[in-house]
């Protein structure tokens, strides 16, 4: 589907002609245009170091593009004053929980910063910790959790503000494969239950195809968009199915030259 086709549907995130250059002159993202529909699960797929995180940070308003426009829900992210930034949940590759706060207190910090009335904190915290199946761990310190539990806490924290858009930067990259598989299925469950727009960055072709409605494939750095691929496989998907393996083979064949040295 072309960017023009998507923008005529209900576009939640709009990235227009975006270029991102770091202060040292390194160009990380070159002329990317991309739209994400409301409620869509979009995966951004590209090789290591190509510029995926850089673009995601710009979508979150953490970095300012050197050129182009990004908006969420029709509101510009670029140049927005903090008070006018659209609500975004962000999950980093590493959990980034504050070690001196319990799981519950980490979630509450975000609720406080987001202006949620204190009377609602307990209910919100319980709802999202339960959704990620760690309600029983709410009084634990981050150092008392496994890697998967920390990432569950980090996802709960991102969802607790009930953002319209959830941005995830390789959140399962540091987990063992068995835990990562369980987390992927649970993430899809959460996505379907919350009806939010998810953007998920990964360098794993199989992971992108398993999770997403659509996959945006980037070049080696500086990142450019090669194509977006609609994933028409029915849900729930089987990570080991022949259909997924066949699709993975096709995508590998398409990116082999572009991602290679």
Nearer to ligand ATP, 1 or 26 (CB): 26
Q: For tokens 């990620």, name the residue.
A: 132
Q: From residue 108, how far is each of 52, 103, 149, 158, 258 by CA, in Å?
A: 29, 9, 17, 11, 44
Nearer to ligand ATP, 36 or 160 (CB): 36
Tokens representing 15?
Answer: 């990235």
Nearer to ligand ATP, 104 or 170 (CB): 170
Cα distance between residue 164 and residue 180, in whole Å = 24
Q: Which stretch binds ligand ATP (CB under 6 A): 11-19, 51-59, 95-103, 192-200?
A: 51-59
Of 36, 51, 86, 180, the one binding ligand ATP (CB under 6 A) is: 51
Q: Are strands 214-218 and 41-45 parallel, antiparallel or unpaired?
A: parallel
Classify the phi-psi angles of 51: left when phi > 0, otherwise alpha if psi is within -120 to 50, otherwise beta.
left
> Residue 32 CA to chain centroid, in angstroms?
17
Of 14, 203, 209, 213, the one binding ligand ATP (CB under 6 A) is: 203
Of 16, 37, 52, 184, the one binding ligand ATP (CB under 6 A) is: 52
- Binding string, residues 209-238; x marks residues near ligand ATP by CB under 6 A: ------------x-----------------
Is 28 one of the binding residues for ligand ATP (CB under 6 A)?
Answer: yes
- The DSSP code for 222 is S
Is 46 one of the binding residues for ligand ATP (CB under 6 A)?
Answer: yes
């Amino acid at each position: 589907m072309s960017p023009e086709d998507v923008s005529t549907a209900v576009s939640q995130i709009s990235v227009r002609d975006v270029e991102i250059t770091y202060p040292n002159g390194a160009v990380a993202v070159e002329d990317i245009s991309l739209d994400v529909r409301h409620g869509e699960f979009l995966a951004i797929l590209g090789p290591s170091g190509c510029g995926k995180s850089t673009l995601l940070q710009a979508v979150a308003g953490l970095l300012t593009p050197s050129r182009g426009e990004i908006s969420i829900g029709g509101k510009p992210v670029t140049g927005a004053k903090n008070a006018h930034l659209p609500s975004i949940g962000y999950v980093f590759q590493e959990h980034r929980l504050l070690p001196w706060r319990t799981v519950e207190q980490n979630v509450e910090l975000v609720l406080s910063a987001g202006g949620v009335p204190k009377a609602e904190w307990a209910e919100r915290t319980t709802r999202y910790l339960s959704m990620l199946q760690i309600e029983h761990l709410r009084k634990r310190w981050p150092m008392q959790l496994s890697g998967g539990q920390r990432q569950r806490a980090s996802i709960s924290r991102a969802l607790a503000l009930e953002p319209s858009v959830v941005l995830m930067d390789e959140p399962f990259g540091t987990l063992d494969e068995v835990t990562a598989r369980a987390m992927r299925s649970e993430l899809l469950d959460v996505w379907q239950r919350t009806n939010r727009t998810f953007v998920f960055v990964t360098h794993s072709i199989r992971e992108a195809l398993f999770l997403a409605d659509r996959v945006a494939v980037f070049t080696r750095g500086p990142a450019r968009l090669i194509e977006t691929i609609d994933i028409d496989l029915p849900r729930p998907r089987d990570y080991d199915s022949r259909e997924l393996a066949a699709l993975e083979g096709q995508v590998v064949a398409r990116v082999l030259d572009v991602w290679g040295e």
